[in-house]
Amino acid sequence: ISSLFEVIEQHAYKINLPLWFRNYFTFTIIFEGVLLYGAYRTIISKTMMLSELAVLSSAMVSATWILIGFTENIMETIKQSLFIENLRTFMEYKEKLPEDWDGIIPDDYISSLEFRNVSFSYKDDSTPVVKNLSFVIDGNTNTAFVGHNGAGKTTIIKLLFRLYDPTEGEILLNGINIKEYNLKAYRALFAAAFQDYRILALSIKENVMMRKVRPEDDNIIDEALRKAGIYEKVMSLPEKADTILTKEFDENGSQLSGGEYQKIVVARAFAKESLIKVFDEPSSALDPIAEYELYDSILKDSKDKTTIFISHRLSSVGNADMVYMLENGEIIERGTHHELMQNAGSYADMYNKQAKNYLALESIEEVIL
């Protein structure tokens, strides 16, 4: 979307610049022409007094600035109309998967989530992003999907959330195809922290709750911030949890680090009451110690919930009940961390390489310090 707006701004600039030059030179020619005419009548023909020329000049200056301001308003209106047209297009877009479809209301428990022979390709690409995936996630368990970037991990979550429907196969919740459920009620089962997150120019409280904050939300917000490991930082800010994030609309707003923003996003998932928690690369901007503390907090919070991790850092999934290793959209290994390490396959190789990188980084830090 940001790239789209950059293109719009470029087009607006191309429209506004010629208009500005045209009006500037038009006003200049008119202004100078009137002054020359006044000077002619004052000096040559002696039909205008010097005081009258001064009044005329003052009036022309005022009129010119009024016209320039009017022109700038027109140019700004043209620019904003380009944004409004795109906003209107977005607002009028009709979902292919309507949330208000009268489907089944899900149960208030999770027995199982199942992918059954699921394949998926994006509309303009015949190459499957995920291929013939079959697995079962039992309720109240911790499941991790790991692999290199582009392996298909995040696509699994998009399919699970019904942002897309499978090209082939089906996804089942408690034995029922998820297409049979009321979409809004189905999505309400999930709380998620995505790697492609957005921080809004609102208070920390509003960023955590993602709605209008009520007085009774304070304890929920504080607990979520503690679990995400950002509570002490928030309490150190002048307005604490009422602090506005970013300076987009408030010059006194606070700018946090990438890792701190990521913890705010994780706090959103902790704050929402849900049966299924999804964490998509929640520690990508964190150092190894902060990453360990975050995953430890997630695991403690997930005792009575179904939790799904997406990660390419294998150190974070050691305590998962089941780990799926993906490569090129396919599951190439599955098992617990201990079982996969004993198999000495791709998972073990990736884990050992990452462990060496961590040790090398620690050695470099010791030398620097």
pLDDT of 360 over the 70 cut: no
Lay out the sheet containing 176-177: strands in order across.
Answer: 130-138, 112-120, 168-173, 176-177
Instruction: Report how far residue 311's alpha carbon sits from residue 315's, in angstroms, rounded to the nearest whole number.
Output: 9
Q: Which of 13-17, 90-94, 117-121, 347-351 has the lowest mean pLDDT?
A: 13-17
pLDDT band at 1 (very low <50, low <70, confident <90, very high): very low
CA distance 242 to 225: 13
Beta strands in the chain (DSSP E): 112-120, 130-138, 142-146, 168-173, 176-177, 190-193, 276-280, 306-311, 322-327, 330-335
Least confident range from 26-35, 43-52, 144-153: namely 26-35
113 φ/ψ sector (left φ>0, alpha ψ -120 to 50, else beta): beta
Provide the pLDDT for residue 157: 94
pLDDT value of residue 19 = 58
Distance CA 94, CA 179 (A): 18
How far is it, in rounded angstroms, from Cα 133 to Cα 121? 13
Q: Which residues contact 146 (CB under 8 A, 6 or more apart)?
A: 153, 310, 311, 312, 314, 317, 323, 324, 325, 326, 347, 350
Beta 190-193 vs 276-280: how paired, if at all? parallel
Q: How far is CA 46 from CA 49, 58, 167, 236, in A?
A: 7, 20, 88, 76
The pLDDT of residue 368 is above 50: no
Phi, psi angle pair for 233, to nearest 5°: -65, -45
CA distance 122 to 127: 8
d(Cα 318, Cα 16) in Å, to the nearest integer? Answer: 57
When comparing pLDDT for 361 and 116, which is higher? 116
Q: Return d(Cα 279, Cα 121) in angstroms, integer.
A: 23
Helices 258-271 and 288-301 cross at an angle (nearest 10°) of 0
Burial of residue 109 (CB within 10 Å: 0-12, 13-18, 19+) is exposed
| CA–CA dist 130, 150 (Å, integer) | 10
Q: Mind listing the pLDDT tens digit for each residue in 34-92? A: 777 777 777 777 777 777 767 777 777 777 777 777 777 777 776 666 666 777 777 77
Q: Which DSSP letter does residue 245 get?
A: B
pLDDT at 20: 57
pLDDT digits (tens, 9 = 90+) for 198-236: 898 899 999 999 999 999 999 999 999 999 999 999 999
What tokens does 223 get? Answer: 């607990």
**Between 191 and 72, where is the model more confident?**
191
Q: What's residue 358's pLDDT?
A: 62
- For 325, residues 6+ apart whose C-beta sits below 8 A from its C-beta are 146, 147, 331, 332, 333, 334, 340, 345, 346, 347, 350
User: Looking at residue 23, what is its pLDDT?
Assistant: 59
Q: Work out the mean pLDDT of the chain and round it to a whole number.
A: 83
- Mean pLDDT across 256-273: 93
% of the chain exceeding 90 in pLDDT: 49
Out of 93-97, 171-175, 287-291, 320-324, pick the least confident. Answer: 93-97
- pLDDT given at position 22: 59
Domain 146-152+180-368, CATH class in plain words: alpha beta
Q: Is the dihedral of CA 286, 331, 124, 150 positive or negative?
A: positive
